[in-house]
Structure 1
Amino acid sequence: MKLHEHPTKLLAALAEGSARIMSATIRFERGRWFVSFTVEQSLPELTPARPDAAIGVDLGIKTLATISEGPPVENPRHYIQAQQKLARLSRRVSRRRGPDRRSGQAASKRWQRANAQRNRVHHHVADQRRDAIHKLTTRLASTYATVVVEDLNVTGMMSNRRLARHVADAGFGEFRRQLEYKAERFGSRVIVADRWFPSSKTCSGCGAVKAKLLLSERDYVCKTCDLIMDRDANAARNLVALAVAASSAETLNGRRADQKTRVTGQVAEKRQPGTASAPQARTPSPEGAGV
């Protein structure tokens, strides 16, 4: 079953009459049956544990999430860890007599058993990845009133053959999906930074913006204020600064806390008094995913 909470909670709500099932969708995938429910339910109004706190989250491959406060969340790399086992099972499947649509040949029972074993490993990896993301997104949405993330170009990253497998294993799209619906549930807000916002190139100390930052540079070194720190931690601090800017722009005008917000502002570049800032070139930041 595909549910946003434990099945026992749904059963209790159905028994109390506070929820009703509107529809159910059944599908067969990789040898397993799934059912997804659409439920109409009255939920209590929740508030985050820290209603005045904001946090910036910089997603990456080596480190799944670097947050503006607290230790980074390591990427468990479930698929990478299961690669050898999957390769061994795939070789076993290829040695069996599989189905052939052209000749109408049916798969042998040995092929079906071997393929089912491989599918179980794929499901286990997907379940592990989803569980890790669930724990992280629940902690963020239930603790902080505002969570700021980047608008990552996941499709473009997947087109890179060297990164595609690692991007898929990290689950950036699933992270964003879970965070947004949980923010509504807990009464928090998700701010999505503009895709062109140079979070990694901007100094979180003085606001100076680097013209170029190589992927191999894992530490951010500011030549203006001499700040030296991890590049992903620096990006997370710049993201949380957007929450402050967004709150100032809204001036507490009664906007609902669970709304999703897109911010396109830039952090100002440090310059000498009386001089105009140079226009920022709108080029995508390849280091946005914290590779």
Structure 2
Amino acid sequence: MKKFQAQPGFVVQAFRFALDPNVTQEHALRSHCGAARAAYNWAVGWVEASWWQRRAEESYGVAEEQLTKWRPWSLPVLRKAFNETKHTDPRFAAWWEENSKEAYSTGLANASAAFDNYAKSKRGKRRGRAMGMPRFRSKRKARLSCRFTTGTIRVDTDGRHVTLPRLGTVRTHECTVKLLDRVQAATARILSATVRHERGRWFVSFQAEVKRDLERVARPDVAVGIDLGVKTLAVMADSTGEIRQVPNLGHYDTARRQLRRASRIVSRRQGPDRRTGRQPSKRWEKANAQRNKVHHRVANLRADALHKLTTSVAAEYGTVVVEDLNVAGMLRNRRLARRIADAGFGEIRRQLTYKTRRRHATRLVVADRWYPSSKTCSGCGAVKAKLPLHVRSYECDACGLVIDRDDNAALNLAALATACVTGTGVAGDQDTAPAVSKPRGADQKTRATRTRRETVTGRAGGATLPQQRQTEARDRTQAEPLTLW
């Protein structure tokens, strides 16, 4: 085997394989994941204990300089504190030696990241929705996951086994040759491994540093516009005028009858009751497993269809234009939420983002959210003031063009690629939009009232903090966290 040498052109990529553990190995996997959850809960309780103590002392009028010190949540501090208490803590003293140290490190690292996200969100330094305080993870609902960064982590030479710390050699359901060949050719180096239980099966994901070869596309000079929908999953129109439609198979709707039958059987069994402490019966567990099997099959079919669609698009066209859809807002429509979730609009956008980044000759252009692709005539460029959703055919009042609504939108998206300014719309750049003029001169909807975040902070959601507050936030350390109440 050749010696690996990191060179320019290497990227970090994940390789996931389904595991086939025996009974002993599955028990060890669940033990490691449970240890990670226990360490996470311990870290959350250890950090928040000082917060609650300070709050109680403040209620009794204790002076500021005499209050209990804040406990930091950085990973080195959590590791040191956990190692000092695991020998005497009755929650860990009897069994902590049964698992790898990486299991506890996984939980502590997750807790540290959770507190960091909460602190950044509280100070307005984190994009997205507001993050709350970290909460304890339930044994019944927590996702089984554990990450290994040190120790023996390798893909065996037979191509059907992997070796992990403390777990030993575990057989895989599928061949691991796609990673094994790269490791043996010294074009990949394994960095870490993560085991996770998903959809009734155990998976291992290897994070590896891989040499990325130049992947060429079939038609680098052709741009394609993709208009997503419910009845038809995707309408693709390229710059040459060719239009293709991808039907929506509706895997969930197809399986609804089978799911209703399985759910009816589950409801007739004696299930768990947390209020009375009643344990589920064996027949309920068996029926619930059968129902979950149907859900897992639907999810696998959907994922397979979306991967085939996005892979074929990224491998054929040099420029891919998609819409910036507000999927979260669309899911609030109770009439279309089920079909939109089954279509996977957000997953298509996510897959196209990283798959186009892999190919140096392919770029991803994200159209502005308010770009009227459906209201604009693909022939003359005239824009209609209104176009109700039930009108499925576009009739231009200026040039008389009659075309399908989705086909017209896809053609406009394909034409949008030529309107992009150099440097915008590159692969993976979801925050930049092509520089195109808005038909009505508006970049966003008019907002009559201030949002809750503006009312509290006194500034817009994307505005920067004043210089004085920036300095205070920069000087504030984890040893002196923000005010929580």
Please tell me the TM-score bracket, short chain as reference. 0.7 to 0.9
Taking the aligned partners of 2:318 and 2:176, their CA distance within structure 1 comes to 27
Taking the aligned partners of 1:282 and 1:258, their CA distance within structure 2 comes to 24
Q: Is the 8 A contact 1:64 1:74 kept in 2?
A: yes
Kindly report which structure 2 residues correspond to 1:43-54, keeping only aligned pairs within 5 A, or say none.
43-54=212-223
Deviation at 1:31, TM superposition (A): 3.3
Give the corresponding residue for 1:161: 334
Kindly report which structure 2 residues correspond to 1:39-78, keeping only aligned pairs within 5 A, or say none.
39-68=208-237, 69-78=242-251
Give the corresponding residue for 2:268: 95
Deviation at 1:40, TM superposition (A): 1.1
Taking the aligned partners of 1:256 and 1:18, their CA distance within structure 2 comes to 30
Q: Deviations over 1:211-239 (max 9, x none)?
A: 00011110110010001001111001111
Mark the CA change 1:138 to 1:148 in structure 2 (over 3 Å): closer, same or farther: same
Deviation at 1:159, TM superposition (A): 0.9
Are 1:152 and 2:325 an aligned pair?
yes
Give the corresponding residue for 1:215: 389
Which residue identity lines up with residue 263 of structure 1 in the other structure?
A: A
Q: Deviations over 1:106-130 (max 9, x none)?
A: 2111111111111111111111111
Give the corresponding residue for 2:416: 242
Taking the aligned partners of 2:426 and 2:330, their CA distance within structure 1 comes to 31
Alignment root-mean-square deviation, CA: 2.4
SS for the counterpart of 1:120 is helix
SS for the counterpart of 2:409 is helix
Kindly report which structure 2 residues correspond to 1:1-291, keeping only aligned pairs within 5 A, or say none.
2=16, 7-68=176-237, 69-187=242-360, 188-246=362-420, 249-250=421-422, 258=427, 260=429, 262-266=432-436, 279=441, 282-283=444-445
SS for the counterpart of 2:220 is strand
* Structure with max Cα Rg: 2
SS for the counterpart of 2:223 is strand
Q: Is the 8 A contact 1:54 1:243 kept in 2?
A: yes
Q: Structure 1 regions of 5+ residues with no counterpart?
A: 270-277, 285-291
Taking the aligned partners of 1:113 and 1:239, their CA distance within structure 2 comes to 49
Mark the CA change 1:226 to 1:283 in structure 2 (over 3 Å): closer, same or farther: farther
Which residue identity lines up with residue 131 of structure 1 in the other structure?
A: D
Taking the aligned partners of 1:244 and 1:60, their CA distance within structure 2 comes to 24
Deviation at 1:263, TM superposition (A): 2.5
Taking the aligned partners of 1:257 and 1:101, their CA distance within structure 2 comes to 51
TM superposition score normalised by structure 2: 0.53
Q: Deviations over 1:245-264 (max 9, x none)?
A: 11xx32xx8x9964536324
Mark the CA change 1:205 to 1:158 in structure 2 (over 3 Å): closer, same or farther: same
Q: Deviations over 1:142-192 (max 9, x none)?
A: 111100000000000111111110011001111111111110122211100
Mark the CA change 1:7 to 1:197 in structure 2 (over 3 Å): closer, same or farther: farther
Taking the aligned partners of 1:259 and 1:117, their CA distance within structure 2 comes to 39
Which residue identity lines up with residue 331 of structure 2 in the other structure?
A: M
SS for the counterpart of 1:224 is coil
Over the matched positions of the two proteins, sequence identity in percent amounts to 55
Which is worse superposed, 7-16 or 202-211?
Answer: 7-16
SS for the counterpart of 2:244 is coil
Taking the aligned partners of 1:86 and 1:108, their CA distance within structure 2 comes to 20
Which is worse superposed, 201-210 or 33-42?
Answer: 33-42
Q: Is the 8 A contact 2:365 2:426 kept in 1?
A: no
Q: Which structure would you say has the larger RCO, counting Cα contacts within 8 Å and 6 or more residues apart?
A: 1
SS for the counterpart of 2:233 is strand
Taking the aligned partners of 2:232 and 2:425, their CA distance within structure 1 comes to 32
Give the aligned length: 270
Which residue identity lines up with residue 238 of structure 1 in the other structure?
A: N
Which residue identity lines up with residue 40 of structure 1 in the other structure?
A: E
Which residue identity lines up with residue 229 of structure 1 in the other structure?
A: I
Taking the aligned partners of 1:220 and 1:267, their CA distance within structure 2 comes to 22
Deviation at 1:51, TM superposition (A): 1.3
Q: Is the 8 A contact 1:207 1:267 kept in 2?
A: no
Mark the CA change 1:88 to 1:259 in structure 2 (over 3 Å): closer, same or farther: closer
